[in-house]
Amino acid sequence: MVNSVTRGETPFYILSWMFSKRIQLKLDGAHPSMSAHHMKLLVIDDRIAFCGGIDMTVARWDTRDHLDKDTRRRSPMGFAQGPWHDATTCVSGPAAATLGELARIRWELATGEKLKPVDVPSDPWPEGLEVDVENIKIGIARTQPEYEEQHQASEIQAAKLAMIKTARKSVYIESQYFASRVIAEAIAERLAEEDGPEVLVINPEGAEGWLEAKFMDSARIRLMKLVREADRHGRFRLLYPVNGARTSIYVHAKIMITDDRVLKLGSANLNNRSMGYDTECDIIIESREDGDFISRKILALRNGLVAEHLGREPYEIEIEIEKHGSLFKAIDALNRTDGRGLVEVPMRELTPDEEMLAESGIADPEQPIEVANRMSGYLLRRRRYTHA
């Protein structure tokens, strides 16, 4: 209730009153109980579209330096904001038009109003924004929960599992959470192989807020144990970034890169909700067409992210990988114990209450049908624990 004064619906209502008919707000109830509309889409005239992890709210601005106490990193009301790491895509052409169609489908589900496609001659590509790749095909993957006449779509989960299964040398992941059991089990299966890939997961140090930390951090510890038991060859790491003052940087980006072949970036985290319960949208680029160029670009983007976290230059990452033949060894060679760098997420034992929360999945269900079952199961276990 307190947060809603400055976040969520209240500012939009105020804007609606101020600007009258130029802004239309609809609160979308066309989804299962307790699920969330988690896509982050902005489509302009069907000519340009943004799809990624960045919400349209406060505390999302930062530079790649993630300076400590940066005076530019403030809310509109003047409150200081912490270091924040996030990512989105900007696309044009048919890709933008397709995301526009996805947005219109969502609007129709929420309002019953069918909007027509937009056809304008303008080119609103932001001045100064560098284009990474041109004239390629992209994939658009969704998570869409089953609801009334709407069918379940779990395309993002299928894409993640396919990427993990086909990875040869490395899987690079940035995510707000590490809480999806199906993804953790797929990673564990590859780690058990004699010659499987290295798997690097970049998370925040901990989840935001007390309640979220109780559920999501407990689930992360549980799955870390599962994965590390399978990691007989030392090919899994779960790290969080810190800036030059060793202040932890909150990771909100949702990125997965396998080798130099596939890049996926969007709104979906590594948690159960993103796999089947909330609405999500990810963009996928694969090095099929003009393979060498796309492969080099995917690799450059990954090395640029690793360099950012280590406070290094991308060429330094490339040199160390070439020298050692391993992303992990490159990180070990360049990581600092003081100043900018990556820190291992520590393991600890869960309390009995945390164990039950992690097992219950109440806050992080996989499918709409499971919510009532999980709630009743958690309450039953809780009652038994209380009696004991």
Q: Is 240 exposed, middle or buried (0-12, 13-18, 19+ CB in 10 A)?
A: buried
Q: What is the pLDDT of residue 281?
A: 97
What is the C-alpha separation between 97 and 92, in angstroms, rounded? 8
Q: What is the pTM of this model?
A: 0.89
Residue 156 counted as domain residue: yes
Q: Could you say which of 328, 344, 360 is where a domain stops?
A: 344
For the chain, how many structural domains are there in total? 2
Residue 192 counted as domain residue: yes
In this structure, the answer to whether residues 17 and 149 fall within a common structural domain is no
Q: Which residues pair with 84 in a beta bridge?
A: 250
For 5, the domain range is 1-30
**At 212, which CATH number?**
3.30.870.10
Q: Which two three-digit tokens encode residue 116?
A: 């027509």
Rg value, the chain, Cα: 21
What is the C-alpha separation between 144 and 156, in angstroms, rounded? 10
| pLDDT, one tens digit for every residue, the chain (388 residues) | 455 555 555 666 666 666 667 777 777 888 888 888 999 999 999 999 999 999 988 888 999 999 999 999 998 888 899 999 999 999 999 999 999 999 999 999 889 999 999 989 888 999 999 999 999 999 999 999 998 888 899 999 999 999 999 999 999 999 999 999 999 999 999 999 999 999 999 999 987 766 677 778 888 888 999 999 999 999 999 999 999 999 999 999 999 999 999 999 999 999 999 999 999 999 999 997 556 899 999 999 999 999 999 999 999 999 999 999 999 999 999 999 999 999 999 887 766 666 666 565 566 777 676 544 444 444 444 444 444 4
DSSP conformational letter for 105: H
Residue 41 counted as domain residue: no
Q: Which two three-digit tokens encode residue 128?
A: 């100064």
What is the C-alpha separation between 275 and 153, in angstroms, rounded? 9
Residue 319 counted as domain residue: yes
Residue 242 counted as domain residue: yes
Q: Could you say which of 344, 362, 379 is where a domain stops?
A: 344
In this structure, the answer to whether residues 141 and 25 fall within a common structural domain is no
